[in-house]
Amino acid sequence: MLGLVSGVLAGLLGVGGGIVMVPAMVIFFSMPTTIAKGTSLVAIIPTAIIGTKRNISKNNVNLKLALIIGFSGVTSSFLTSRISLNLDDRLSNYMFAGLLTIVALKLISDERKAI
């Protein structure tokens, strides 16, 4: 069910499944944050592949920018994953909640500007 909901949101809104899956696994399955993050990363691979294929076929991708972001993302995630695995779950939860709050406030701010 969680995969269905995150897949629908990813398809409709273009958001990563982790935004939905990580909090849901922590809240509803009492999963430690580190396990939820790792599980989410593996679970989103098929969704990302399908989304990538579809968006490239619709010419909705700036390939040069995507490759630059992808390369820097792989490099930084390789380095920071070592730190993340040693973070206290509580601190990790606060950091994730802070990120989601910033994203939500930015979306609300942009929506108000459009009105």
Q: What is the pLDDT of residues 26-55, one digit of tens each?
A: 899 999 888 888 898 898 888 789 888 999
**59 φψ region: left (φ > 0), alpha (ψ -120 to 50), beta (else):** left
The CA distance from 85 to 83, in Å, is 6
CA dihedral of residues 79, 64, 57, 110 (deg, nearest 10): 80
- Sketch the domain layout of the chain as residue ranges: 2-114
Name the one residue in this structure whose structure tokens are 């580190």: 34
3-state class (DSSP) for residue 62: coil
pLDDT at 77: 85
What is the number of other CB atoms lying within 10 angstroms of the CB of residue 44?
19
**Is 0.95 topped by the overall pTM?**
no
